[in-house]
Amino acid sequence: MTVDLVERALQIAINIRQPKEKLMFHRD
The 10s digit of each residue's pLDDT in 4-15 is 999 999 999 888
DSSP 20: H
Containing domain of residue 14, as a range?
Answer: 1-28
Q: Are 22 and 15 in contact (CB under 8 A)?
A: yes
pTM over 0.85: no
Residue 25 reports pLDDT greater than 90:
no
Q: How far apart are CA 16 and CA 1, in angstroms?
A: 24
Amino acid (1-letter code) at residue 16: I
Mean per-residue pLDDT of the chain: 78
Structural domain tally of the chain?
Answer: 1
Is the pLDDT score of 28 beyond 60? no
More confident residue, 26 or 4: 4
Confidence of residue 27 (pLDDT cuts 50, 70, 90): low
